[in-house]
Amino acid sequence: MLKKAFAALTATALAVGMLAGCTDSQSSSSNGSGDSKEKNGIVTITTVRTLKDDTKFREGEDLNNNPITRWSEKELGIKWKTLWTAPNDEQYHNKIRLALSSGQKLPDVFKVSDGQLINDLIRSGKVMPVDEAIEKYASPRLKKIYEQFPEAFYPATVDGKRYGIPRFSGGNGSDSLLWIRKDWLDKLGLQPPKTIEDLEKIMDAFVNKDPDGNGKKDTIGLTLASKNGLATWLADGSFIFGAYGNYEPGSWSKGEDGKLVYGSVQPSMKKALAKLNEWYEKGYLDKEVGILDEQTAIKSFVAGKSGIISAPPWAAGWPITDALKNNPGAVVEPYPLPSGPDGKIGRRGEGLVTGMFLFSKDFKHMDKFFQYLDEAYAYVYNDSKYFKYGLAEGYDYVMKNGKPVYDDKEIPGGRLDPGAYFITEAIPTVPYMLYDLVEELYTTKRQPKNAYEYTRIVSLGESFMKAATIVNQQNQYRIENEFTGPPTKTMQKRGEFLTKMERETFANIIYGRAPLSAFDDFVKKWEESGGKEITKEVNEWYQSVKGAK
């Protein structure tokens, strides 16, 4: 099962004044501390979190006063107290790190997605192991999920003990497929690609046969990002590497002997790089592909100057809609990933978790935490006694003539997502469950049963549902990143140098500035410059977590 290696941010202590600027009206403590307390049968649980601009509230409401917190207090006897928020993960993790280093008390419950910070918190002794709490308080439903995905606990497993509860991702929610300008295919009399060879013929036509009809040779075949790595979350190139082997650049996967190996130094990389160089020389790729990150790479597709992009199903909302708006008459359709010369198909898989919930060693109410979490999951499983039609009437649905209505236009003030008010920051997910449900809805054409099915699936449109179904039907081709621990000792010393060398070598080969044999030189230097030691350390970590409960 897929696991996602958490990014290890370089935690530079920010000035206290700057950190104070990250707090908002939720703040009620200068040092961010808070112990869970019980009064009149109500348990107060403190937390902290990120709060992004797209989280909206009704007038007069906030994270401490909204339909979810009111429900939690009334029905479960849990009063949530958000001590502070930060606008992004970097500032959030820096604030947690500052609290740890300065000896401040930690909140009762908080999510961390930085692998090094998770490890530092565990080693500090300020957060507690959760094995006993899971056994005593987790519902049968939660235990079943945890047993299904034991790898989800690896990021917070130390010395055989689990210290965190996973905040799951969708499992395959950000896995990519191809999005292609179907109007260009139709204009040029082309069929959708089934193989890399088919794809090359399409790209050649998109470059040389004036698909946009402006009389200029100003279009490219494929939008690709590579500045942050060639296997990435948008304008993804992982399918190219997956067509030639079982490894992806930047990921650790099982080798033939069952040990973890680094994808970027495997022989199959060489074939994919040779192909990318060929495509670059033929003009199929952007001339500046080596310096394009995900945000800048998509500009060619949005502007109507590229015919193909590899992106997740959620791209149906963005950037595909931008491309449609900017190019009247454009038709963009999702298609399965093509196979390589030996029939191989592969793609970068989304991480299994987006973070780990950690708990202060002084927290006394794990029973309440699990009760709250299980009720949130009950909504996902459509068996909630509290959320029959949706999460909150007047937010994600309204009742009319005794029936729920989910149309945004029918909800006074527009639809808001109460799921964002949960401690999970969204409706909690079970890996692969959402796209299984999408596939069922798409193939059977049945009507949604509740607000979850409407807002999370049907309201996103036919294109999204088709794309998610395609991704779900290609799950067997996921190439998983098996290393989800903190940076190893040698990674901390040599990782930045090795990553820079890797990306420069790959870019030079693609551009044709270096021969293909430069890959072999890179592999040798990578091993000699710390790669061999890193591989040893990664496998020591892997063996240590595999034996945990």
Compute the average pLDDT of residues 497-526. Answer: 98
- pLDDT tens by residue, 421-465: 999 999 999 999 999 999 999 999 999 988 889 989 999 999 999
Architecture of the domain defined by 16-168+354-380: 3-Layer(aba) Sandwich (3.40)
Local structure of residue 360 (DSSP, 8 states):
B
pLDDT score for 15:
35
pLDDT score for 35:
54
- The pair of structure tokens assigned to 284 is 């199929």
Instruction: Name the one residue in this structure whose structure tokens are 């008390």.
Output: 105
pLDDT score for 219:
98
- Full DSSP string of 61-87: -BTTBSHHHHHIIIII-EEEEEEEEES
**Residue 546's pLDDT band (cuts 50, 70, 90):** confident
Local structure of residue 88 (DSSP, 8 states):
S
Distance CA(387)–CA(407), nearest Å, equals 18
Compute the average pLDDT of residues 107-122. Answer: 97
Check if the beta carbon of residue 1 is closer than 8 Å to that of residue 146: no
- pLDDT tens by residue, 23-34: 443 433 333 344
Instruction: Give the contacts of 469 (CB within 8 A, at least 6 positions apart).
Output: 435, 438, 439, 442, 443
Distance CA(529)–CA(540), nearest Å, equals 19
Same fold, 16-168+354-380 and 177-348+487-546: yes
Top pLDDT among 17 and 168 is at 168
342 has a pLDDT exceeding 90: yes
Which is nearest to 57 in space by CA: 437, 511, 414? 414
Phi, psi of 190 (to 5 degrees): -110, 150
**% of residues, the chain, pLDDT over 90:** 89
Distance CA(120)–CA(135), nearest Å, equals 25
- Domain spans, the chain: 16-168+354-380, 177-348+487-546
Top pLDDT among 19 and 535 is at 535
333 has a pLDDT exceeding 90: yes
pLDDT score for 199:
98
| Per-chain mean pLDDT for the chain | 92
**Residue 111's pLDDT band (cuts 50, 70, 90):** very high
Check if the beta carbon of residue 348 is closer than 8 Å to that of residue 479: yes
Distance CA(261)–CA(266), nearest Å, equals 8
Q: Where are the alpha helices (DSSP H) in 344-432?
A: 366-380
Residue 286 corresponds to which amino acid? D
pLDDT score for 21:
40
Check if the beta carbon of residue 177 is closer than 8 Å to that of residue 309: no
| DSSP percent split of the chain into helix, strand, coil, nearest 5 | 45, 15, 40
Distance CA(108)–CA(47), nearest Å, equals 6
Residue 40 corresponds to which amino acid? N
537 has a pLDDT exceeding 50: yes
**Residue 289's pLDDT band (cuts 50, 70, 90):** very high
- The pair of structure tokens assigned to 458 is 């049907």
Which is nearest to 100 in space by CA: 188, 172, 33, 10? 33
Return the bridge partners of 49, or none. Answer: 85
Does domain 177-348+487-546 match CATH 3.90.180.10? no
Q: How far is CA 45 from CA 33, 64, 132, 368, in A?
A: 11, 11, 20, 9
Return the bridge partners of 357, or none. Answer: 111, 165
pLDDT score for 549:
53
- pLDDT tens by residue, 479-494: 999 999 999 999 999 9
Instruction: Give the contacts of 204 (CB within 8 A, at least 6 positions apart).
Output: 221, 282, 284
